Amino acid sequence: CLLLLLLLLLLLLLLLLLFTTSADSSSFSIDYKNNCFRKDGKPFQFISGSIHYSRIPREYWKDRLLKMYMTGLNAIQVYVPWNFHETVQGVFNFAGDRDLEYFLNLANQTGLLVILRPGPYICAEWEMGGLPAWLLQKPNIILRSADTEYLKAASDWFGVLLTKMRPWLYQNGGNIISVQVENEYGSYFACDYNYMRHLHTLFRLFLGEDVILFTTDGNTDKEMICGTLEGLYATIDFGTDTNITAAFIRQRRFEPKGPLVNSEFYTGWLDHWGDKHASVDTVKVSKMLGEMLSMGASVNMYMFEGGTNFGYWNGADHDTRFRSVVTSYDYNAPLSEAGDPTDKLLAIRDVIKNFRDIPVGPMPPATPKFAYGFVTLQKVWTLLDTLSPQGPVQSQYPLTFEEIKQYYGFMLYRTTLPRNVPEPTPLISPLNGIHDRAYVSVNGVYQGLMERDTALVMNVTGQQGDQLDILVENMGRVHFGSYINDNKGLLGNLILGNDVLTDWSIYPLDIDTAVANGWLQAAHSGSGMEAGDGPMIYSGTLKPTGLAWDTFVKLNGWTKGQVWVNGVNLGRYWPQRGPQQTLYVPRPFLSATQPNNITVLELERAPSHRRILFMDRPQEHPSNYIPKTHPILLKRDRSIKNKIL
């Protein structure tokens, strides 16, 4: 019996020793004495790349992560868009393309650590910087501050998200090595330290005391002062136009000891509609990456794989005027929008080889592409009841998208002309209340458009009692700066001549559901084959070929609108404004054996040929669009500080 007892005690000691060793081996911390990170007790330098699961089909997550791993990265940086998971208040969605834990598990299986950036604000050139639009139902809410309503909503969200994330912390056996609190907060006007303290307390409550919490801010004193907080490790971000030494000296002023970290080293840049396509020189990127790594700095490359703003998820900037981000988030990154390795990736891999061992084996190839050719579309006649089954909201004056709880897409505002207007009469938005584009028709005849900041007046004619329809498009909410309280729709009265227009019927349009359910495919007109002016829906079929490969759709001659393939919203097209000329169609959206349903909402004018072309490569061109700012707006003195590359 005594021998058995001794054996049991010995076994317990061994188990305790094993547990202690295992716990000690799963640690990630900051060594302030030696100015480095420590992973499992050993010095560690991360070489990371940003990837947004919300911009990539779930079926391609593994492919993109493997390519990043084979480049030599040992970590990835991941934003969590709040509005992607809680589009409707209190309804949380982590399924399918929103399955964050599945994504983290794939990264873990691939051998990649994770730097998590849960916000609540993320910027990311994403719709409203990741904040849900339902927050704007509180008209006086101060976002990203200690505003009571905002803190309550953010706290509820983090109660769900961070609880899910805690098991994925490296100390708990997962792969999350650090977590960012807020995002580039120093760029925001509020500079509310009580807000940052609240978030700090919240993160510690849900994640514990051991995980590294950090901040990221731009390379100016003002941004670092307002964005940093005691107890959160301060990091910096900058691109190839910056002096590395000067930038890290600035980080040292706010974080005298610990590792040097560039949390966003810009490998490229975003595009707005009307911009020249942005790019950053490969030689500059690879040279500067090597210099930072030689200094012992940990670096995250933003972006490494950009992806696509499918649906309505693109953001917008607002400096002197509103500028919407294009559908492609290619970002001139090392992996293209379609996940293909580029020369920039190969150059980066050659740099990384000098600092750590590259995984053995070939780089996974580009996904196969196919040119399916032309598809001819037919005009669709559809009843308003199909697009707005719940019917209109009646209001004396216009209501916003947020007031009607239609957060994305389109709404139709309908009223009648209050008097005869036989001569062209100005229809005016006196307070720049068109957010963002309005397509105007009288008795179903297209009159023209009004546009935020640039086209606030147009002429109409008609008779008293004629039906006036104004289709308003939300082009994506502002994602950066002081104007993120970006309500959509008609934000004020419209004036026809001297008359204020009243008695509106406002229809929230659920075009996506109508397309997904096939209601528009079934509503082909028998004879209305001609193209026309104004908003119209077209549909057609891409016949099965036995192949379901990536492709790109080009809308040559079309003006502006939205495309769906098999019910999936590919995003916006606007070839006349550019620079983007094609929309990416990933393989998972297509069927190799069944007809593929194509739906196009053209907002201004379709070409007479009504054809679209499926190609095996993307296209863009330098935009020659020259914006015109309305004289009313030229009088305004606005001084928003932009992100600087």
Which amino acids are annotated catalytic?
Answer: 184, 264
Neighbours of 383 (CB within 10 A): 10
- How far apart, in whole angstroms, are the C-alpha atoms of residue 65 and residue 305? 9
Q: Which residues of 99-126 are buried (b: 16+ CB within 10 A; e: fewer)?
A: bbebbbebbbebebbbbbbbbbbbbbbb
CA dihedral 505, 510, 515, 517 (to 10 degrees): -110
- How far apart, in whole angstroms, are the C-alpha atoms of residue 632 and residue 454? 9
Supply the DSSP symbol for 252: H
Element (H, E) at 162: helix 148-165
| Helix, strand, coil percent values for the chain (each to nearest 5) | 25, 30, 45
Return the bridge partners of 69, or none: none
Check if the beta carbon of residue 398 is closer than 8 Å to that of residue 495.
Answer: no
**Residue type at position 475:** M
* DSSP three-state, residue 133: helix
The rounded Cα 323 to chain-centroid distance in angstroms is 14
In this structure, the strands spanning 212-217 and 393-395 are unpaired
Size of the chain in residues: 645
**The pair of three-digit structure tokens given for residue 518, joined into one six-digit string:** 């096939």
Task: Choose among 352, 471, 367, 359: nearest CA to 410.
Answer: 471
Return the bridge partners of 280, or none: none
- How far apart, in whole angstroms, are the C-alpha atoms of residue 434 and residue 452? 5
**Dihedral sign of CA atoms 517, 489, 93, 116 in order:** positive
Check if the beta carbon of residue 402 is closer than 8 Å to that of residue 566.
Answer: no
**Residue type at position 151:** L
Check if the beta carbon of residue 277 is closer than 8 Å to that of residue 620.
Answer: yes
Phi, then psi, of 442 in degrees rounded to 5: -120, 120
Check if the beta carbon of residue 582 is closer than 8 Å to that of residue 615.
Answer: yes
**The pair of three-digit structure tokens given for residue 406, joined into one six-digit string:** 């239609």
Return the bridge partners of 110, or none: none
Q: Which residues of 333-346 are buried (b: 16+ CB within 10 A; e: fewer)?
A: bbbbbbbbbbebbe
User: What DSSP assignment string belongs to 309-357?
Assistant: --TT-B-EEESSSEEEBPSB--TT-SB-TT--B-HHHHHHHHHHTTTSP
**The pair of three-digit structure tokens given for residue 445, joined into one six-digit string:** 């005849």
Q: What are the start-end ranges of the E strands in 385-433?
A: 393-395, 410-416, 421-428
